[in-house]
Structure 1
Amino acid sequence: MLIMRHAIYARCLAAALAAAAALLPARAALAQETAALPRVAVLATGGTIAGQADTRAANAYNAGAVGAQQLVQAVPGIDKLARLSTEQVASIGSQDMNDKVWFALARRIQALFDHNEADAVVITHGTDTLEETAFFLDNVLHTDKPVVLVGSMRPSTATSADGPSNLYEAVEVAASPSARGRGVMVVLNDTIQSARGTTKTNTTSVQTFASPNSGPIGYVDPASVRFFTPAFQPDAHKYALPSGDQLPRVEIVYSHANMDGVPVEHAIASGAKGIVLAGVGDGNTSQSALEALQRAAKQGIVVVRSTRVGSGFVNRNVEVNDDTSGFAVSLDLNPQKARVLTQLLIANGVTAPAQVQKAFAATY
């Protein structure tokens, strides 16, 4: 009986060893396939994409409640696109986005690329200020490797959450060989937008991000990534991060009917180094406000005319004499992005109106 048991055990052991040996080639092939995938670092900052429902209202939620690893684990098949690592940089709603987080992101991304620790980066972010973060990073990162910002309009606990599909496609774009040399991109709702062109256009729609003046640079679905524009990301117009964790103070002044110069005077009194006018029409405003802006320019404050209108360019010397007033115009940049660029210019010692204007026109 004992001999029979040993024989049965030996046969079972041999069968198990044979089965394991048969799996070795498949496992080796899988390991080889995984090693060939690009390395994508997912940096989380919070936002709706990481939101959880709250009982205070039917559509209420708390932003930034879900961690980076949880976000990735909730997306089926995402591990087949890239070798993923996750880091939690912040856990805030993007209405609270600030210079400190911007600097932390910029330095971490640059370090990941400089030390060859990642082939691409995906940043999860709230949608409210996503375009500003994207534009800031596009102006300070020195790399041709893909950086993609992604968010969602519905929290992770919603019955029709858009975050998982958006995150899947953001990683898909970041991992694509054709994504190199395109600067910082924004991916939501199957659409790829440039950092300069895109803006949030709707309070709640999942199709909120659009590029009114330039259009999207591509589209993505689970099977394909398609770009419509050539890859071209010159490094000549990048800016250095200032020391510390804060950019110079630049205020946005919003133009409206019956406006006086008080908002401009308040900006001057608050110590603003720059003022961006969210003007009516082609970046215009009342005579009183214009005179206050002219006084600001004479004091050495950088003044940039932008527009509160959702699309179109602000041109020089149309209704306002920019040459004599010492103003620059934002061209296609909306007020919030014009503010970011003005901050970077001042931080890098660019304050003369002609040089400021040259920087705004750098890509045209």
Structure 2
Amino acid sequence: ADREDVDGIVITHGTDTMEETAYFLDLTVHTIKPVVLTGSMRPATAISADGPLNLLEAVQAASWPDLGKYGVVIVMNSTVHSARFVEKTDTTHADTFKGRQMGCLGYMQDGRPRLYQQPLRKHTWSSDLAAPKELPVVAIVYAYVGLTADDVRRLAQGKAGLVITGLGHGKMPEPVWQALQPLMEQGLVVVRAARALGGMVTPVPAYDGTVTADSLTPQKAKILLQLALAHTTDREKIQAIFDAY
């Protein structure tokens, strides 16, 4: 991105974790140049393989200078998605990447992106986050009926942070919450996200001391928590980072 002879960047990537790489780059690559990720849902040997068109449209998108204002994007299936909002929603179909309630940024048409909205959260050129050589270790816990306090204690051992994929509005079984509080007093940072397919997780008095993930998916909350912990361990400052990004 710092090279004068490079106007835009295209990264080919497996689709299973593309959204995570895109969001990490969205937070840590401080450039106004377009950064586009793309891949394929069908192999090159399949009927109607989607890789060639995805790659062509990713290059076309990256050649449009104004795209860099929108942060890192994924271009798949003729759709332009923000790294902040996008996620893979289908195991095999070509139309797998969606932006939940936020929607897509726009579409590829006539060899260029046609965009209709712009992310307001900090990213790329407006981001203050930097990637260290080693990221703090953070785990994700998926809440379900039958999750025990011992399950969570074991997973939290040796971790700097924990993302709870909570029930409803980031809720968790009461024994789990009771087990987490002494760990939080010892320095564990707990972020509440949700396993629901939409909505936000915001502060509630019942879970005072936790950080809320807003609309981030658990896997993206993990990435932001790792980068935040690399800068600070202060819970209020980490919450401010989640509110800004």
TM-score, structure 1 length as denominator? 0.64
**Cα offsets for 1:317-351 (capped at 9, x unmatched):** 0xx6233xx10010000100000000001112x22
**Cα offsets for 1:223-276 (capped at 9, x unmatched):** 44201024876644331221x3x311100001001221122211232x110000
1:117: Cα distance to partner?
3.2
* 2:177 paired with 1:290: yes
Question: Contact (CA 8 Å) 2:139, 2:156: kept in 1 or not?
Answer: no
Question: Contact (CA 8 Å) 1:237, 1:362: kept in 2 or not?
Answer: no
Tell me the residue number matched to 1:183. Answer: 71
Kindly report which structure 2 residues correspond to 1:1-364, keeping only aligned pairs within 5 A, or say none: 113-230=1-118, 235-242=125-132, 244=133, 246-269=134-157, 271-317=158-204, 321-323=206-208, 326-348=209-231, 350-363=232-245
Letter in 1 for 2:207: D
Q: 2: CA distance between counterparts of 1:231 and 1:357?
A: 19
Name structure 1 gaps, 5 residues minimum. 1-112
Instruction: Pick the structure with more helix per residue.
Output: 1
SS in structure 2 opposite 1:240? coil
Paired residues, number: 243
Q: 2: CA distance between counterparts of 1:166 and 1:159?
A: 15
Name structure 2 gaps, 5 residues minimum. none
Letter in 2 for 1:216: C
Tell me the residue number matched to 1:58. Answer: none
Tell me the residue number matched to 1:101. Answer: none
Q: 2: CA distance between counterparts of 1:322 and 1:286?
A: 12
Change (3 A) 1:129 1:226: same
SS in structure 1 opposite 2:215? coil
Question: Contact (CA 8 Å) 1:264, 1:289: kept in 2 or not?
Answer: yes
**Cα offsets for 1:158-178 (capped at 9, x unmatched):** 122111111111111111133
Question: Contact (CA 8 Å) 1:141, 1:238: kept in 2 or not?
Answer: no
More relative contact order, 1 or 2 (CA 8 Å, 6+ apart): 2
Identity of matched residues, %: 42
Q: 1: CA distance between counterparts of 2:35 and 2:130?
A: 18
Q: Which has the larger radius of gyration?
A: 1
SS in structure 2 opposite 1:354? helix
Change (3 A) 1:231 1:286: closer
Q: 2: CA distance between counterparts of 1:150 and 1:201?
A: 16
TM-score, structure 2 length as denominator? 0.94
Q: 2: CA distance between counterparts of 1:293 and 1:221?
A: 50
Q: 2: CA distance between counterparts of 1:153 and 1:115?
A: 31
